[in-house]
A = this chain, B = another copy of it.
Amino acid sequence: MENFTYFNPTKIEFGTGKEKLIGQHLQEHGIKKVLLCYGSERIKREGLFDLVSQSLAAKGIASVELGGIVSNPVISKVREGIVMAREHQVDAILSVGGGSVLDSVKAIAAGVCYHGDVWDLFVGKTGIQSALPLFAILTLAATGSEMNPAAVVTNEETKEKLFISAPPLFPRVSIVNPALMQGVSRDYLVYSASDVIAHLIESYFTATAFPKVQSRLVESLIYTVIETTETLLTNPADYEARSQFAWTSTLALNGLTFSGAGGFSYPNHAIEHSLSALFNVPHGAGLSVVMPAWMKWYLKQNRPQFARFAKHVFGGETPEEGIAALENWFNKIGTPTRLSQFGITEADLPTVVDNVQIYVQAFGIANIYTPEVVTDILKGAS
């Protein structure tokens, strides 16, 4: 195994009814006033907002609201949140929603403590030294943001989708109640499955060395995603499957799976970010298009690991069978596997390839993922 540091101080409150603990947790952290961020008004219609408000009120915690955060969250909304947080002098930020709300909250929490424009933090103009404490109540399991210190936000002016990551951005407490996820649409369920699998395979395939114990953990988690997604497509109310899906999503990107992995990268994410940034494609849907095409291109560089993947996840006998099985499974559950399903044509490819260069640079893999290589990969997804 390569040397590594594992540190993850986020407290996870997992299970039914846990959202009622939010007031208590904020109180334990000495919070008096919070910026409560959310996406659609659905949380009000479905009663979650009331539950949270009551929990805060019971502990005497004041709140101001910032709603309307969208999927593929944007930096303009983050700036709006920073202004509000300062104006109302809140001492914490609370996310009630999925990964897009939570990533916006992380950016707001960091931005409040930075004197310049928050986008500076995304382009690496300066590091993140501090942030307001942040808390989450999760309503969609996909991004793993609830137990890591990273956030991805799109600058809608520059069409860049970039990430930040720094220890102050670990949520202090993340509440994961699978029952709150029961209403997730069929489409977002399958996109989430794709997203979780993407988190699991990036280091698994690209690491210069990936310890066998870690391979086994990753394969266990991918297998669980497949099994629970199929159960949930048949019965969205299956709490056991919903909870195992949610917990797997959390474990997929909390640092566990790539402990001791040699240098690895996020090529699928780098390429997908372009699809989201340019065409506002749902992140998971973009990933299920990119992954099989990337795998076919990358296969020759790590055939033994693709053989493991085929055998331990799908019971296949050749490396190629594993890739085909994953693509077939994406087709079966109904998440896209072709660019054409987004209306993206061959004529769009040069624009995408250009835009991808931003992300492969951000991820430090521009030397491998040249415009020619990215064109090859994307043609495989056409």
Instruction: Write the residues of chain A forming the contact surface with B, with a CB cutoff of 8 angstroms.
Output: 1-18, 178, 211-213, 216-217, 219-221, 223-224, 227-228, 240, 243-244, 247-248, 256, 259-260
Contact = CB atoms under 8 A, between A and B. Distances in A.
A243 B8 CA distance: 20
A227 B217 CA distance: 15
B1 A6 contact: no
User: Which has the most chain B C-beta neighbours within 10 Å: A1, A217, A219, A259?
Assistant: A1
Given A3-B18, A5-B11, A211-B244, 13 more contacts: A1-B240, A1-B244, A1-B247, A3-B14, A3-B17, A5-B12, A7-B11, A9-B9, A211-B240, A213-B221, A213-B228, A216-B224, A243-B260
Contacts of A240: 1, 211
Contacts of A217: 217, 220
A227 to B, nearest CB: 7
A11 B3 contact: no
B248 A213 contact: yes
A244 B261 CA distance: 11
A243 B3 CA distance: 10
A243 B11 contact: no
A247 B219 CA distance: 18
Nearest to A225: B213
B213 A244 contact: yes
How many identical chains are in the complex? 2
B9 A13 contact: no
A259 B14 contact: yes
Contacts of A7: 10-12
A227 B212 contact: yes
B13 A5 contact: yes
A259 B247 contact: yes
A248 B215 CA distance: 13
Contacts of A10: 7
Contacts of A216: 220-221, 223-224
A260 B14 contact: yes
Given A211-B243, A213-B224, A244-B211, A6 B2 contact: no
Contact of A2 (B3, B5, B15, B212): B15
A202 to B, nearest CB: 19
Contacts of A256: 256
A243 B1 contact: yes
Nearest to A176: B6
Contacts of A178: 1
A221 B244 CA distance: 19
Nearest to A17: B3
A151 to B, nearest CB: 21
Contacts of A13: 5
Contact of A247 (B14, B213, B228): B213
Nearest to A147: B6
The 6 closest A-B pairs by CB, nearest first: A3-B15, A216-B220, A1-B243, A7-B11, A6-B12, A213-B224
Nearest to A224: B213
A259 B216 CA distance: 18
Nearest to A239: B1
Contacts of A1: 14-15, 178, 240, 243-244, 247
A6 to B, nearest CB: 4
A204 to B, nearest CB: 13
Nearest to A250: B6
A18 B227 CA distance: 40
A7 to B, nearest CB: 4
A98 B227 CA distance: 40
